Chain A
């Protein structure tokens, strides 16, 4: 093969390789990233005691250095609660107030469940996130005479995070929105037993 032919071949191989590298890198970014929501949620978890939620205070959140859209909404208080279902199902207990609240459950691939405070029963929103196996166990152990108000959500992955958003429509409601996010509790419960009643 001539020298020129070999060069073209090498260039073609390089381009094919570039395509492969591109695809691999794009697919690997979510699991390698250290600044994504899940990693940040895990990093912010320490020192919070039993409460595994941390609020991004509204009003004074400075945008990130490379912030372009979508910027975080300045009037929304966000709480993150990472979970690892190998420890047991996660119970998210929220009390609804006058402010609009939404709870979304994110897995590795995105939000697989979302609910707003309009679905609350008597002011309480109780979500139990479990794996398929824990779900079957909970069904088997259930007492038929006892009515459960929990919303059971089967998660596709064992790891993920719960996002709580509370919207402060007016600047004066910002403190209340932050407090509402802080009031949401995320607790790991022993598999199959519902000891903590919601209400």
Chain B
């Protein structure tokens, strides 16, 4: 609603000076322009980024169980259509995303993180990292993510992924770009969790801890 007030005021000022000279026709055109402009701009804003509704928050992670379901809300369907995304159906798997670490700070490409823990039961899972916009052309593509088969585990079955700009021992996941915010995506394939995402517990998901930042 802040955008409406911000946009409305200069328009209103202009319209008020115009009002002394124009008639009802001017007001009619003003109302039409306001409606069309605000309506299109807000619809574009709401469907441009991620899914606006339907997320189930568990710790740092947000699950999107209904993104590909028949009962998906119109905004989710519009986002999928605009991006050409083929969402995972309920029987196929579950998508979880994370943009914050365990302390609520945005995941930044300049910092190092440890993504540690276990995942909910699934036949296979992949954990990928991405930044906004196209990949820098000069940077070599080292690794975008890990699959459940590739990952090196501790003796008790837990895993630790080192998400860092510099080379790390163990499961090193390089930062996709030099700076800016990045996001993680955890996809669980063929999982019973998809049908009951509301009961997801944060202890069942890997924890994202910040281990240090570049000065």
Q: Which residues of A are at the interface with B, using a C-beta cutoff of 8 A? A: 3, 6-7, 9-11, 13-22, 24-27, 29-30, 33, 35-37, 40, 62-76, 78, 80, 100, 102, 104, 106-107, 109-116, 118, 156, 163, 165, 167, 169-170
Contact = CB atoms under 8 A, between A and B. Distances in A.
Interface stretch (B80-88, B111-119, B153-161, B206-214): B80-88
A29 B27 CA distance: 30
Contacts, number: 223
B92 A104 contact: yes
Contacts of A13: 31, 35
Contacts of A63: 130, 134-135
B170 interface: no
Contact of A37 (B70, B85, B91, B135): B85
Contacts of A35: 81-84
B132 A36 contact: no
A16 B16 CA distance: 20
Nearest to A99: B124
Given A14-B31, A67-B132, A111-B88, 18 more contacts: A3-B20, A7-B19, A10-B15, A17-B35, A17-B39, A25-B40, A27-B78, A29-B81, A30-B77, A30-B81, A40-B84, A62-B135, A69-B50, A106-B86, A116-B91, A116-B92, A167-B126, A169-B149
Interface of B: 4, 8, 12, 15-16, 19-20, 24, 27-28, 30-40, 42-43, 46-47, 49-50, 64, 67-72, 74-75, 77-78, 80-93, 95, 97, 99, 123-124, 126, 128, 130, 132-135, 144-145, 147-150, 183, 185, 187, 189-190
Contact of B72 (A22, A24, A110, A113): A110
A74 B133 contact: no
Contacts of A11: 8, 12, 30-31, 34
Given A6-B27, A15-B35, A167 B147 contact: yes
9 contacts: A7-B12, A33-B81, A67-B130, A110-B68, A112-B70, A116-B92, A167-B147, A169-B124, A170-B147
Contact of A26 (B46, B49, B70, B150): B46
Shortest 5 CB-CB contacts between residues of A and residues of B:
A21-B39, A17-B35, A14-B34, A111-B89, A114-B91
A66 B134 CA distance: 7
B30 to A, nearest CB: 5
Contact of A68 (B33, B64, B123, B183): B183
B81 A22 contact: no
Chain B binding site: helix, strand, loop or mixed by DSSP? mixed
B39 A10 contact: no
B185 A70 contact: yes
B104 to A, nearest CB: 18
B82 A25 contact: no
Contact of A167 (B36, B67, B189): B189
B51 to A, nearest CB: 9
Given A15-B35, A36-B81, A75-B145, A102 B185 contact: no
